[in-house]
Amino acid sequence: MTATVPPVPSQGPEYDPAGRVELPPGALPADGRFVNDDLLPVPVARRRWTTYNFAALWVGMAHNIPSWLLASGLVALGMDWKQAVFTIALANLIVLAPMLLTGHAGPKYGIPFPVLARASFGLYGANLPAMIRAAVACAWFGIQTWIGGQGIFVLLGKLFGGWAEAAKVGGQPWTLWVCFVLFWVLELAIIHRGMEALRRFENWAAPFVIVGALVLLAWIAAKAGGLGPLLDQPSKLGWGADFWPVFFPSLMGMIAFWSTLSLNIPDFTRFGAGQRAQIWGQTLGLPTTMTLFALLSVFVTSGSQAVYGAAVWDPVALAGKTDNVFGLLFALVTVLVATISVNIAANVVSPAYDLANLAPKFVNFRRGALATGVVGVLIMPWKLTATPELYIFTWLGLVGGLLGTVAGILIADYWLVRRTVLDLPALYTPGGRYWYTSGWNLRAVAAFAVGGVLAVGGSHSAPGKGPFPPDGLIPFLRPLADYGWAVGLMASLVLYVVLMGTRGPRARA
């Protein structure tokens, strides 16, 4: 398939007994166009995240309001609770595979996602996937911050009363804007302290949020005298011909929910003590937590249907129905911790590195994080989650297709072309091995363009329910749109390997 990778240069990295790589002194060029302290490999001595740290990271990220609402979106599309939980569980098992594959480079080389992307896209070309990932993260940051601000608004309104009737600014009560801004400031204050502060925050946030979800389940089960009637409701789709046209695009949407992290997971695994820590931590943390959270969502909502006569999927709205002050305060803190834990980890860390990669001399990690917060305020995130169809089929589907295309190229380059062997100094060196054509690997760009068109070119919306034409942007590609993530990943992976196979062994190294 590919030629044997030649040995790294004599000035190349040093390996420790665990196979982790460290740059020797003087290995990087004096030219700092592609280097700053945040983009440099993490020293081996600072790679100390354990299995628990990675598992806690995923627990903290998975336990948030949008992931709680995933099952509700699938039930709204006609699934019963068993089909919804099955779809979510399968999607997270599938997305775990690219998560582990791209995460491998983190503990080994100590590099973040945009630096890893330089190997395949080139030193300048890496900004293409990095900016796509950053744009998606900024949008997600806005969504999560708005949802978190709404949660604070609802719960404080129950405590103090009259908040919803406050004078409106921009179509919303000014008290809601205050909650939104305060929540935004709190998030950036935590991430400003750096990745070590994030690790400590996630360590205690993870068990706290689990306890909060279980308390909510116990409370509603006690009020309902059981788990409620939702568990007995049959599927509107069955398991036949009506189910599969909904299942596959829904599966791609659930995969797309974490496809963002399948790209930039090296931003976290670069701090790992070894491969075992990141593999076991992610395996224990991601699919199990997401499945458990989907089950809790279904059970709690079923209980709410028994108590209030209608299913209340939003956990904030449900918690707001209690008149107990302690319960409201506990719910408020749980919402704060849950939303902050996912937002700063999943949606601030990546664009902070991505923007630093764009202009290393001027943007460091903290400035990139601040820019992410500003962009997240400028979007209108409430529109993206307005309906299940818009959220699952349009937003998550479109994002998943593009990010799957990038993931295919990263996996193909790191595992199939280079067999996990990177020339670490060359990732920071203009004119070196990964310089390609003026800093761009045009073969990677071509693979991305073709894979992206195949993945999202057929994007379509029901009449009057979305931004795309009913027949698709490119009508003959419409049948592929429901499988966008898988189509993008496989198409770009295969095409990249074929295109890189036309180069000489030295160029592929």
pLDDT surpassing 70 at residue 350: yes
Residue 504 confidence class, pLDDT cut points 50, 70, 90: very low
The H or E element spanning position 332 is helix 325-346
Q: Which residue has the higher pLDDT, 27 or 121?
A: 121
Q: Strand, helix or coil at 15?
A: strand
Question: How long is the chain?
Answer: 509
Average pLDDT for the chain: 82
State the pLDDT at residue 507.
45
pLDDT band at 495 (very low <50, low <70, confident <90, very high): very high
User: Could you give the percent of the chain with pLDDT greater than 90?
Assistant: 27
Residue 365: pLDDT above 80? no
Mean pLDDT of 223-230: 72
Q: DSSP strand E in 12-146: where?
A: 14-15, 21-22
Tell me what the mean pLDDT of segment 131-150 comes to: 83
Strand partners, 272: 49
**Beta-strand relationship, 168-169 and 172-173:** antiparallel
pLDDT at 386 over 70: no
Instruction: Name the pLDDT band for 78 (thresholds 50, 70, 90).
Output: confident
Q: Which of 366, 369, 372, 405 is nearest to 487 (CA)?
A: 405
- Write out the H or E segment, with its range, that includes residue 22: strand 21-22
Q: Which residue has the higher pLDDT, 129 or 256?
A: 129
Q: What is the pLDDT of residue 281?
A: 95
Q: Is the pLDDT of residue 153 over 70?
A: yes
Pick from 54-63, 138-147, 266-275, 474-483 the range whose average pLDDT is largest. 266-275
Q: Is the pLDDT of residue 279 over 80?
A: yes
CA distance 304 to 5: 59
pLDDT band at 402 (very low <50, low <70, confident <90, very high): confident
Burial classification of residue 397, based on how many CB atoms lie within 10 Å of its CB (0-12 exposed, 13-18 middle, 19 or more buried): buried
pLDDT of residue 1: 40
β strands within 153-205, DSSP E: 168-169, 172-173
- Produce one character per residue of 357-381: b if its CB has 16 or more CB atoms within 10 Å, e if not: bbebeebbbbebbbbbbebbbebeb
Q: Give the global pTM.
A: 0.84
Higher pLDDT, 331 or 102: 102
pLDDT reported for residue 410 = 96
CA gap 53, 210 in Å, rounded: 16
